[in-house]
Amino acid sequence: MERVIFNEDHHAFRASAKEYCDRSLVPRMDQFLEEKTIDRAAWLEAGKQGFLGLDVPEEYGGSSVGDYRFNQVFAEEVSKVSASLSSCFGIHYDCAAPYFVDLGTEEQKQRWLPKFCSGEYVAAIGMTEPSGGSDLAALKTTAKKADGGWVLNGSKTFITNGDMADLVIVAARTDPSKGAKGITLFVVEEGMEGFARGRKLDKVGQTESGTSELFFEDLFVADDNVLGEIDRGFIHMMERLAQERIGAAVSNIAHATQILDETIEYVKQRKAFGQSVGSFQYNKFLIAELVTKVEVTQAYVDNGVVAHDEDRLSAVDAAKTKWWSAHVQNEVLDACVQLHGGYGYMNEYRVARAWRDARVTKIWAGSNEIMKELIGRDLGL
């Protein structure tokens, strides 16, 4: 079914994004897999092409397009290459950017955003803690007031881009007596004394992304690095979760669609019992169901993107797109592995890596169970 939300500018931008992926990402995937990270050259090239500053005003080095569909197009093209790369770039240009643009002071924007847009600085968001998971209100990392700043102590885990981030937006508890209303955001910079990175985490999938632990030990952060208002960090995070979740949905369905397309070509060519595997009635019906389900989900996600672009996407509707797209993505990719037979379980096949990469999407950006809880509450249950 034809997608109708894009115009000529979006199509031209997609061509540029695809060219970047084909030139700068696809030929180096083996390197990224081996090193478990995206090297700085790929970031710098993305910055040079203008992909990292889509939400950043021009005076700070971005393009400030004011149209979330451009974010969507770039995420879709990168997701076709790798779910890992999409998550790394997405955390930077799609999740972290609104924090800096919306909450940063003029001095902070001048200091950080030009290099953020160029790829010289890579950003990460430090919310998740070893004991917290999706419960952002239960943070244990603390920040105590000191002369001219704050002293941070604590740790974060499962941090995408954590292995190389130059700027980390860290949520810390500044007033334990206030619960969720006593959390503040800080920007921790590479090289600060007391800031240490742990090991790159050995994940089931998404090998290319440098996911790490972060540690803060008596780390002094100046008042100039407070992002937003004191004790309003939880609210700041909640206000920006809708974009994170619709962004996750965009990547989820683009990733599933690409691998399904590749699987359809595979079953047309693969022979068994004297005919193509795809011609067996069961497989034919299964693929018909998968294609329809993907297209229906794409239409739903596209509708969410338009709603977000018009500033009318609710937190509940964002939760719906996030959980459903992750559910469909995993269902589709599991079927694609089955359709590949034994080869679908081999790491040399993209379908196997994609299957592993997708599993986490039902957990991060708020687990699917949390999303359903939000929806249920909205229904008065």
User: In this predicted model, what pLDDT tens digit does every residue of 325-343 receive, in sequence order?
Assistant: 999 999 999 999 999 999 9
Q: How far apart are CA 311 and CA 322, in angstroms?
A: 17
> pLDDT at position 133, please?
65
Q: Could you tell me how far CA 319 lies from the centroid of its own chain?
A: 15
List, for residues 71-120, the tens digit of each pLDDT value: 999 999 999 999 999 999 999 999 999 999 999 999 999 999 999 999 99
pLDDT, position 134: 65
In the block, residue with structure tokens 């090193």: 35
- List, for the chain, all residue ranges whose pLDDT scores fall below the cut of 50: none
User: Given phi > 0 = left and psi -120 to 50 = alpha, else beta, which region is 66?
Assistant: left
Task: Report the C-alpha gap between 155 and 169 in whole angstroms.
Answer: 13
Q: Which two tokens mark 19?
A: 């060219």
Q: Are 328 and 293 in contact (CB under 8 A)?
A: yes
Tell me what pLDDT residue 65 has: 87
Of 205, 349, 186, 323, nearest to 266 (Cα)?
349
**Cα torsion at 355, 79, 322, 318 (round to 10°)?**
180
Element (H, E) at 187: strand 183-189
Question: Which residues have a catalytic role annotated?
Answer: 244
| Structure tokens given for 13 | 């931008």
Beta strands in 192-327 (DSSP E): 195-200, 212-222, 226-227, 271-272, 275-276
